[in-house]
């Protein structure tokens, strides 16, 4: 059945602009968009089974959060308080804090408890217009616990009306039982990847390339294992130092390289040549009180596609609003509003290898968000409040 969505101001984002259409209409069929344009130009041949009036609201493509760590046990609020009271990172680690405390809490949590926490967080993101969500593992760090987290992500995609893409991030941190044996751990990560993939739990593979995490040589081994399984890769690269991670990722045709505060010119050139998307994560930059900014002007000049994501995680980015991340990308990193909005829609979809969403265009998925706004530039103007009236996913109203 074809459904007509009428009386909307559309921001289609097609052709590199806002693509504004006053008194616009969409015709959807099944889960897809069949026609987009001014209501006055609606072809008479369309057989409309149902009409939905949108009251002149702003309709934009559903938002895509292309980098989150949404599934974990516990939280790190006490650690954040210690940091704000002056404690250093080492002191916190000695007191049992840091990423390993999330790993213990995640291992100890039941699948249902993890699902409960992740569902609440997914609903918060959806209230800010999100219709597609990437979720990384990386707080289990054993075969069993990584599988548990990825199963939770898959269940979330079935039980909550948001589309979930899973990413296996076994190479996130070294678990305590592998202390001093990081190469052995990388072997295990590669080995587990085959088992997790065989269970249908993995859409992509990620790693954390950093002096405090895994070296480029170790990451290359993880990526070789992914390539052998035909899985796309992405990388946490150049967050705290320049490791040449972006070049490494590009050499494997990575979908994206993420963070990038310390990205070099050579990294930019390699990403450009490979078509690797630069995913900026201003929430982590903000929470860590970073001062070094990703080289946005150089990325722009090189024509590297730029996306923005929440990086939601309990340690460095506990935020749950993708429009706020886009706002911060403008304020801190000097993205233009149009770049930031593209960065949380079609460029973010591209960072997940998805080419069927992120724009309002015939043939693409009917995933859109309805906003109490006049112009899409307001999405990155207001902050602390996401005036999203509804999200529509696959042509069904979900909230």
Interface ranges with ligand DI6 (CB under 6 A): 99, 102, 172, 208, 236, 239, 284, 313-316
Query: Between 18 and 285, whose beta carbon lies closer to Fe ion?
Result: 285
Tell me which of Fe ion, ligand DI6, none is bound by residue 99, counting a contact when its beta carbon lies within the kind-specific cut-off of 5 to 8 angstroms: ligand DI6
Tell me which of ligand DI6, Fe ion, none is bound by residue 102, counting a contact when its beta carbon lies within the kind-specific cut-off of 5 to 8 angstroms: ligand DI6
Tell me which of Fe ion, ligand DI6, none is bound by residue 366, counting a contact when its beta carbon lies within the kind-specific cut-off of 5 to 8 angstroms: none
Tell me which of Fe ion, ligand DI6, none is bound by residue 285, counting a contact when its beta carbon lies within the kind-specific cut-off of 5 to 8 angstroms: none
Query: Between 208 and 333, whose beta carbon lies closer to ligand DI6?
Result: 208
Tokens describing residue 224: 């070789």
Shortest distance in whole angstroms from residue 346 CB to ligand DI6: 25
Tell me which of ligand DI6, Fe ion, none is bound by residue 316, counting a contact when its beta carbon lies within the kind-specific cut-off of 5 to 8 angstroms: ligand DI6
The residue ranges that bind Fe ion (CB under 5 A) are: 311
Query: Between 157 and 315, whose beta carbon lies closer to ligand DI6?
Result: 315
Read off φ and ψ for residue 351, nearest 5 degrees.
-65, -15
User: Under a CB-based contact definition with an 8 Å cutoff, are residues 76 and 101 in contact?
Assistant: yes
Tell me which of Fe ion, ligand DI6, none is bound by residue 294, counting a contact when its beta carbon lies within the kind-specific cut-off of 5 to 8 angstroms: none
The residue nearest Fe ion at its CB is: 311
Shortest distance in whole angstroms from residue 130 CB to Fe ion: 16
Three-state secondary structure readout of the chain: CEEEEEEEEEECCHHHCCCEEEEEEEEEECCEEEEEEEHHHCCCCCCCCEEEECCCCEEEECEEECCCCCCCCCCCHHHHHHHHCCCCHHHHHHCCCCHHHHHHHHHHCCHHHHHHHHHHHHHHHHHCCEEEEEEECCCCCCHHHHHHHHHHHHHHHHHCCCEEEEEEEEECCCCHHHCCCHHHHHHHHHHHHHHHHHCCCCCEEEEEECCCCECHHHHHHHHHHHHHCCCCEEEEECCCCCCCHHHHHHHCCCCEEEECCCCCHHHHHHHHHHCCEEEECHHHHHHCCCCCCCCHHHHHHHCCCEEECCCCECCCECCCCHHHHHHHHHHHHCCCHHHHHHHCCHHHHHHCCCCCCCCCCCCCECCEEEECCCCHHHHHCCCCCCCEEEEEECCEECC
Tell me which of Fe ion, ligand DI6, none is bound by residue 314, counting a contact when its beta carbon lies within the kind-specific cut-off of 5 to 8 angstroms: ligand DI6
Tell me which of Fe ion, ligand DI6, none is bound by residue 148, counting a contact when its beta carbon lies within the kind-specific cut-off of 5 to 8 angstroms: none
Query: Between 99 and 395, whose beta carbon lies closer to Fe ion?
Result: 99
Shortest distance in whole angstroms from residue 12 CB to ligand DI6: 34
Query: Between 39 and 87, whose beta carbon lies closer to ligand DI6?
Result: 87
Shortest distance in whole angstroms from residue 58 CB to ligand DI6: 33
Shortest distance in whole angstroms from residue 76 CB to ligand DI6: 7
Query: Between 72 and 178, whose beta carbon lies closer to ligand DI6?
Result: 72
Shortest distance in whole angstroms from residue 210 CB to ligand DI6: 7
User: Under a CB-based contact definition with an 8 Å cutoff, are residues 160 and 191 in contact?
Assistant: no
Query: Between 203 and 290, whose beta carbon lies closer to ligand DI6?
Result: 290
The residue nearest ligand DI6 at its CB is: 315
Shortest distance in whole angstroms from residue 189 CB to ligand DI6: 14
Shortest distance in whole angstroms from residue 192 CB to Fe ion: 19
């Amino acid at each position: 059945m074809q459904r007509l969505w009428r009386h909307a101001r559309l921001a289609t984002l097609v052709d590199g602009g806002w693509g504004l259409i006053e008194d616009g209409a969409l015709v959807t069929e099944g889960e897809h968009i069949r026609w987009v344009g001014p209501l006055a130009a609606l072809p008479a041949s369309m057989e409309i089974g149902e009409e939905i009036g949108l009251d002149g609201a702003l309709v934009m493509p559903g938002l895509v959060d292309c980098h989150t760590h949404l599934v974990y046990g516990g939280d790190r609020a006490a650690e954040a308080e210690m940091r704000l009271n002056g404690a250093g990172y080492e002191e916190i680690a000695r007191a049992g804090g840091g990423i390993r405390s999330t790993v213990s809490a995640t291992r100890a949590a039941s699948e249902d408890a993890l699902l409960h926490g992740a569902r609440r967080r997914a609903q918060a993101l959806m209230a800010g217009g999100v219709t597609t969500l990437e979720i990384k593992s990386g707080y289990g760090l054993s075969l069993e616990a990584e599988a548990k987290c990825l199963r939770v992500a898959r269940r979330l995609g079935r039980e909550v009306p948001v589309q979930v893409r899973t990413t296996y991030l076994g190479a996130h941190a070294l678990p305590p039982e592998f202390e001093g044996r990081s190469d052995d751990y990388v072997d295990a990560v590669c080995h587990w990847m085959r088992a997790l993939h065989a269970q249908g739990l993995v859409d992509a593979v990620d790693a954390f390339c950093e002096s405090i995490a895994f070296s480029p040589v170790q990451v290359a081994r993880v990526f070789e294992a992914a390539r052998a399984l035909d899985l796309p890769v992405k990388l946490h690269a150049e967050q705290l130092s320049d490791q040449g991670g972006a070049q490494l990722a590009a050499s494997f045709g990575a979908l994206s390289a993420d963070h990038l505060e310390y990205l070099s010119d050579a990294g930019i050139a390699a990403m450009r040549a490979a078509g690797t998307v630069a995913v900026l994560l201003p929430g982590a930059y903000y929470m860590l009180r970073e001062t070094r900014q990703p080289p946005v002007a150089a990325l722009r000049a090189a024509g590297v596609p730029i996306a923005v994501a929440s990086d939601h995680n309990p340690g460095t980015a506990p935020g749950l609003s993708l429009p706020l991340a886009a706002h911060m990308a403008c304020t801190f990193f000097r993205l233009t509003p149009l770049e930031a909005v593209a960065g949380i829609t079609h460029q973010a979809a591209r960072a997940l290898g998805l080419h069927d969403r992120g724009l309002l265009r015939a043939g693409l998925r009917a995933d859109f968000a309805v906003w109490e706004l006049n112009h899409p530039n307001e999405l990155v103007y207001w902050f602390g409040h996401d005036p999203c009236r509804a999200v529509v996913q696959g042509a069904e109203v979900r909230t």
